[in-house]
Structures are given as C-alpha cells and as structure tokens.
Structure 1
Amino acid sequence: MRIFARPHQLPPRLAAGVFFLHSGLGKIDADPQTAAFLHGTAAKAYPFLRRLAPETFTRVLSRCEVALGMALLTPVVPSLLAGAGLAGFSAGLVGLYLRTPGLRREGSLRPTDQGLSMAKDVWLLGIGLGLVAEELAHR
C-alpha cells in the first residue's frame, strides 16, 4: 500500500477533506434540537440508529466526520484507506438520499428541490471510489 498520496490525488482529497472537517466541527456543540433533527433524519433511513440517543448519534457522527476529514487532508494516510473511508461514509449519505421520501421525483433518481442538497453527495462517493480504484489498479 502506497504511504503517500500521489500529487494528483491531493485536490479531490483536499476538497472532500475540508468539507467533512467543516461539517464535523460544526456538529461538535450541536444543540438538542439539531441533534434531534439529525438523528431523526438518519433513523428514518436507517432504523437501527433509533437505538442511539440523539446526542450520542450526533457526537459519534461529528467525530467520524472530523476523523474522515483529517484522514483525507493528511497525505501520509494511504489513499486506499482514505478513499475507502470516504466511499463508505458517502455511500451512507447517498443511501439516505435514496431512502428518504420527498427527496426524489416520483419514479426517478432526479432530486426534488428539497433533495438537491442531499443528491450532490454523489460526488463524494465518486471521489472515494476513484481513489480506491486507482490504488487497486496500481498494485
């Protein structure tokens, strides 16, 4: 496994890493209403999350986003590892988009106005899969 990210991998890693770091840091001190909203949204798509308290879910979500952002921003973290983490997390976000009623047009993958902000997470999945595919191709 290559230890250092290749130079051309740095821009997508930087873009995704800053995005996740910002998102995670913004949730660290989430108020109870925000925690309830985030938890409720996630639990509708992934019912097993109902077992967690909203504050616990939001704290774990925040820490995961910060850790993923830091992994992407740190060039010594192998791109295979960072890309796999990004692909896994963003697959969950795309799943949230696909499972939440009202975010897609009837019988289509195309987003509604309410779903547009969630549908754009597909670019994160593309970056993660691209990093993984490139590293696996260069073995």
Structure 2
Amino acid sequence: MRIAHVPLRASIGAYMLNSGLTKRNLEGEAAQATHSMAVGAIPQLRQVPPDRFAKVLSYSELALGAALLVPLVPSALVGLGLTAFGAGLVQLYLKTPGLRQPGSVRPTEAGSGLAKDVWLVGAGLTLVLDGLIPRRLRR
C-alpha cells in the first residue's frame, strides 16, 4: 500500500466498519425496510430473507472496512471491492423511485444520502488504477 492511500483507505474503512456495525443487529421491520429497498434495485434479492440479507450486508461492510484498514491487502484488490459495493449503492439510487428529480440524475432531498455514494465508486476506481499502473508511469 502506498502512503498516499492511507487517508483514503482509513477514512472509508472506518466509515464502512461503522456502517456494518450499525446493521449487525437489524431485525424485523428495520431488516424488512432495508431488504425492500434493495429488492427494488436488484429483484433477485427477493429470494433472500430480509433478516439474512441484513446479516450479509452487515458482514460485507465489516469485511470491506477491515480490508481497507489492513495495509497488507493490495490497493487494487480492495479497490475492486469498494467499486463493486459503491456500484450497488449507485444502482439502488438510480432505480429507487423518488430519489431522483424527474428525467434527471440529480437527487431529490430524499435521494441526497444515496447519491453521494458515487464517491465510493470514484475512490475504488482510483485505488484499482493506481494499484495497476506501473510505478515508472505514475509521474
């Protein structure tokens, strides 16, 4: 891991760990609400029970957060995970009614919380590209 990646990985890693910890005990109506929103964007998730979905989401966020914080995990690899996770959130934003202004990608007030997750995709792609570009070409 390059020293320049530390602030990015530490800030996003801490955020992801916190998010995973807060979802760790989701049950009942809270798990159902989270699951319903995800199903709206990815219909195949309908096959996964809400409580199980909440657990898998929590564990995924915890694993990604930990991978970001552990310097031994290559930036390109953790960047792929971050890009995929962020892309899922962007898909959720784009497919959930009421989060975007009509005919636009601009968020409504309700969509601002998810629209900002595009930064996860950008950060993930930055880590992937920086990890793949040979050092001699980085100048």
Return the TM-score normalized by structure 1: 0.95
> In the alignment, residue 115 of structure 2 is paired with which amino acid?
A
Separation of aligned partners in 2, 1:46 and 1:119? 17
In the other structure, the counterpart of 1:81 is 77
> In the alignment, residue 17 of structure 1 is paired with which amino acid?
G
Between the aligned residues of both structures, percent identity stands at 50
Query: Which of these residues, 47, 56, 81, is aligned with residue 51 of structure 1?
Result: 47
Query: Which of these residues, 23, 26, 49, is aligned with residue 22 of structure 2?
Result: 26
The Cα RMSD (Å) is: 0.9
User: Deviation per CA, 1:75-131, whole angstroms, max 9, x where unpaired?
Assistant: 111001110000011000011101111101111111000000000001111100000
Query: Which of these residues, 102, 109, 112, is aligned with residue 106 of structure 1?
Result: 102
Matches within 5 A, 1:56-135: 56-135=52-131
Separation of aligned partners in 2, 1:138 and 1:20? 29
Structure showing greater relative contact order (alpha-carbon pairs closer than 8 Å, 6 or more residues apart): 1
Separation of aligned partners in 2, 1:138 and 1:33? 49
Moved over 6 A (4+): none
Q: CA deviation at 1:137?
A: 1.2
Separation of aligned partners in 2, 1:10 and 1:133? 16
Q: How many residues align?
A: 135
Q: CA deviation at 1:30?
A: 1.1
Q: CA deviation at 1:68?
A: 0.2
User: Deviation per CA, 1:12-31, whole angstroms, max 9, x where unpaired?
Assistant: 11111111100001111113
Return the TM-score normalized by structure 2: 0.95
> In the alignment, residue 69 of structure 2 is paired with which amino acid?
L
User: Which segments of 5 or more consecutive residues in structure 2 lack a partner in the other structure?
Assistant: none
User: Which segments of 5 or more consecutive residues in structure 1 lack a partner in the other structure?
Assistant: none
